Structures are given as C-alpha cells and as structure tokens.
Amino acid sequence: MAGAYLDTRLKGRDYLSISDFSGEEIRLLLDAAHDLKKELKAGIPHPVLKGKTLGMIFTKASTRTRVSFEVGMFQLGGYALFLSAQDIQLRRGETVGDTARTLERYLDGIMIRTFDQADVEDLARYGSIPVINGLTDLLHPTQALADIMTVEEHKGKLSGLKLAFIGDGNNVAHSLLQICAKVGMHMTIACPPGYEPDPEILAGARVDAAATGVKLEVVTDPFEAVAGADGLYTDVWASMGQEAERAERLKDFSRYQVNAELLGKAAPGAVVLHCLPAHRGEEITDEVLDGPQSVAFDEAENRLHAHKAIMALVM
Ligand code: CP
Ligand code: NVA
C-alpha cells in the first residue's frame, strides 16, 4: 500500500464544492485517484478506511454515484449505508441540523445527493464529520474530479487543453468551470440564451482562471465552442427536478446536439465526455457516444477511483 491516497493534509475536510480546494489540493485528489486505480488493477488491496462507515443520503435518483461510493467504500475496507430520503425522518420534517447532529454519532462521513446546495452546506455546518456533495441543483463536484481524471488519462496532461461544454449551464457545467480554472484548462460553454451558467459561479471561476492563465467563455454557437477543443462534453437538457420543462427544453436545445458533424469540427483526436445518464438521440447521438472518441464509460468507471480518493483523503 503506497500512494497519494495516504496523504493526511485533507483529513476532516468537507467536499462540497471544487471552489473549496486549491489547485494543489485538486492535484493531490487526482494523484490519489490514479494511484488507487493502479492498485486496484494490480490487485493490491488498500483498506485504509477499515472500520469506518459512510452514510449515503439520496433525495434524487442515482446509478453511478450510489454504486461507486458503495463499492468504493467496500474496497477501502469500510462500510456504506444507503439512506433513502423516502425512509429517513428528514422527509417528515426533522431538520437538517438535527439529522447532522444525530448521524455524526454513528458515522465517519456522509455523502448526500439532493436539490438545494444550502442543505448540503447545513449538514456540513451542523455536523463534525466530513460531508461529500454527491450532486445538488447547483454543483456536481465528485463528477468533475472523475471527468478531469479521465481527460488526463487520455491526453496525458491537463494544462493548456480546451474543453467545450455543449448544452445547459447546469450543475455539471458549474463544477467543470471551477475545476478547469483550477487545473489550467480553457473551457467554452455553448448554450441557448437563457441557459447560461450562474454568473456568480462563472465570476468565481474566472478569478482562478486569471491565476492559471486560462479563458472561460460562454457563447451561443456550438461550432464556435468546439473549434480547437480537446474534449467535448455534454449532459442532459433537462436535469433532475426540471421534468416539467422537458418539452420546452427539447425545442430550445435542438441546435445543441453533440453529433458527428460537431465532433468533426473539434481538434483531431478530441475525446467525448458525458456524465451519464444520456438521453441518446437528444443531447448526443448513438454514433458519437458509442464511437471511438467517446470516453464516457471510462469516465463512469473513474467515478469509482475518484470517489475512493475523496473518501480516503477526507475521512
Ligand atoms: N453521473 C451521475 O452522477 O450519475 P448517476 O445520476 O447515475 O449517479
Ligand atoms: N445535470 C444532471 C446530471 C445527472 C448526473 C442532473 O442534475 O440531473
């Protein structure tokens, strides 16, 4: 057992937003994720969280996040409990604060997927154990770490690369803006008017981008965004909680599909990323998602390694 995941500098920290971490800390998380992946492939056990427990609260659906955290905790020697918000007292009106003050008596960490970023922050504020944000309406920071890890694996570097995000300026786009700025990647988002990323998130990320010397841009033309891009990223047009807007969004986003024509305008050898689940035939075609440039399923796998890195370092 040897690797960056044994580092103790992040012990006790919450993982609520990429913006809470410095570029060096993101580097440490990435190194830990790469090391854990190598060890897993080599059959080297790494039970660094032996005897520890993670509670996983979900008020939204999940395939990847749930399974990768649960399996990841098992591989780290610990135990993970799935806490459906349908079944715990939070749903019946117990406050987030009382939930935090209770759960910290049993658990060593909490991962939560929910709607409001403020609930995740409250859980962290009222409890003393590390809280990991497994997606809110605003952010998806565990996803962004796995995404960047995947780009680094396929491109051999991060600094100076360009990512084009085609679609909604949503939670996934926000965390990507923040992480690209920290690791020195240019990022251009192409979205229809009215679907731009949150101006505060963009402004915050631009402070980091100025320090690393990269550009973060928002445009309306997908072809402009993909010019020279080393990575193309897309996500569903209607996120969880936006089901009622689906028909309207399908119309508004119709020009924003990642298809062979658009991919053809990116840099040669550009990789295609998607956080998944995909709505095939909407934001991305089968041809591209199943094509040779797609790394979406490596990206899904890397959620496991990235989540293990987060847990090993903060718990
Ligand atoms: N990408 C992602 O978070 O997937 P799940 O919703 O399946 O967890
Ligand atoms: N933006 C999507 C991501 C799902 C992983 C959503 O919030 O539904």
Ligand nearest to the CA of 69: 1
Sheet containing 79-84: give its strands across: 79-84, 53-58, 109-113, 131-133
* Centre of ligand 1 from the C-alpha of residue 250, in Å: 21
Q: Extract the runs of DSSP E, i.e. beta strands, from 167-214.
A: 186-190
pLDDT at 18: 98
Q: At what angle do helices 23-41 and 141-155 cross, to 10 degrees?
A: 70
Give the domain ranges of the chain: 4-139+301-314, 143-300
- Altogether, the residues listed in the chain come to a count of 315
Domain 4-139+301-314 has CATH 3.40.50.1370: yes
Quick one: which ligand is closest to 169's CA?
Answer: 2
> pLDDT-derived band of residue 70, with 50, 70 and 90 as boundaries?
very high
pLDDT score for 91: 82
209-262 pLDDT tens trace: 999 999 999 999 999 999 999 999 999 999 999 999 999 999 999 999 999 999
pLDDT band with cut points at 50, 70 and 90 for residue 64: very high
* pLDDT tens, position by position, 74-113: 999 999 999 998 889 988 889 999 999 999 999 999 999 9
Q: How many CB atoms lie within 10 A of CB 314?
A: 19
Number of neighbours of residue 209 by Cβ within 10 angstroms: 23
pLDDT in tens, 26-39: 999 999 999 999 99
User: Is-same-fold flag (4-139+301-314; 143-300)?
Assistant: yes
Ligand 2 center to residue 235 CA distance, Å? 7
Q: Report CA(60)–ligand 1 centroid distance (Å).
A: 10
* pLDDT 10s digits, 258-304: 999 999 999 999 999 999 999 999 999 999 999 999 999 999 999 99
pTM: 0.98
Residue 134 has φ and ψ, to the nearest 5°, of -95, 20
Mutate to test the pocket of ligand 2, among 63, 240, 242 (most ligand atoms within 8 A of CB): 240
As a whole number of angstroms, the distance between CA 149 and CA 172 comes to 15
pLDDT digit string, tens, across residues 161-185:
999 999 999 999 999 999 999 999 9
Model pLDDT, residue 1 = 73
Q: What is the pLDDT of residue 77?
A: 98
The CATH class for the domain spanning 143-300 reads: alpha beta
